[in-house]
Amino acid sequence: DVKVTQSSRYLVKRTGEKVFLECVQDMDHENMFWYRQDPGLGLRLIYFSYDVKMKEKGDIPEGYSVSREKKERFSLILESASTNQTSMYLCASGQGGQETQYFGPGTRLLVL
């Protein structure tokens, strides 16, 4: 079974703090993704990576950065958290082609 894990299920941070969200997959997938999910807006892609040290902006990269130093690990960084970054963050990994992407359990982040 494919397993995608995220470092926290729930997180509470203060405005201006630096926040790290970590994602680890155990299936040797090339591609990894970070999304945020908000009511009425659906899943929106923040960043993705198709190889180690490679990263591409998604649709809403502002205020975020990412790091992929190892194939199995993809980190999302909020340099200076703001209240409008309160959301559910979902990590996913996949091999592309006919294969789907597999999602982690999500991190619900609250920025006060």
Partner 1 sequence: GQNIDQPTEMTATEGAIVQINCTYQTSGFNGLFWYQQHAGEAPTFLSYNVLDGLEEKGRFSSFLSRSKGYSYLLLKELQMKDSASYLCAVRPGTYKYIFGTGTRLKVLA
Strand pairing report for 73-78 and 19-25: antiparallel
Least distance to partner 1 from the beta carbon of 64, Å?
A: 16
Burial of 51 (0-12, 13-18, 19+ CB in 10 A): exposed
d(CA 63, CA 94): 25
Retrieve residue 21's tokens: 């969200």
Alpha carbons 78 and 19: distance in angstroms, whole number:
5
**Closest distance of CB 50 from partner 1, Å:** 6
Size of the site for partner 1 (CB under 8 A): 23
Between 38 and 79, name the residue whose CB sits nearer to partner 1: 38
**Contact call for residue 98 and partner 1 (CB under 8 A):** yes
CB 92 → partner 1: shortest distance, Å? 8
CA distance 58 to 55: 9
Site for partner 1 in 1-60 (CB under 8 A): 31, 33, 35, 40-45, 48, 50, 56, 58
Q: Which residues bind partner 1 (CB under 8 A)?
A: 31, 33, 35, 40-45, 48, 50, 56, 58, 90, 96, 98, 100-106
